[in-house]
Amino acid sequence: MDNIGWFFLIFVAFLTAFVLLMGLIDRWTQPKTSYEKWLEIELKRNPDYIDWLRVANNGKDYKLGLRILRKLKKGKI
């Protein structure tokens, strides 16, 4: 490859890494929604609520519930 080809390849790789990093930073800095706060309290009070989340609403919030339970077990919340 000539110099322009290498520059373009490095430029595209840099832009891709930059966009992915910005997406991660955005996800990490978003505050919790009121539903996430309520779900956290409910799972802390009743961990078996996760079974209902699997069935309700086609399991839409099941992964969120699992993530919250994992944090509760590690003691991060």
| pLDDT tens digits along 2-21 | 677 888 899 999 999 999 99
Which positions ≥6 away from 50 have C-beta within 8 Å? 43, 62, 65, 66, 69
| Spatial distance between the Cα atoms of 7 and 12, rounded to a whole number of angstroms | 9
| pLDDT tens digits along 27-70 | 888 888 888 898 889 988 988 888 888 888 788 888 888 888 88
**Domain ranges (residues) in the chain:** 1-30, 31-77
| pLDDT tens digits along 23-39 | 999 988 888 888 889 88
Which one is predicted more confidently, 54 or 1?
Answer: 54
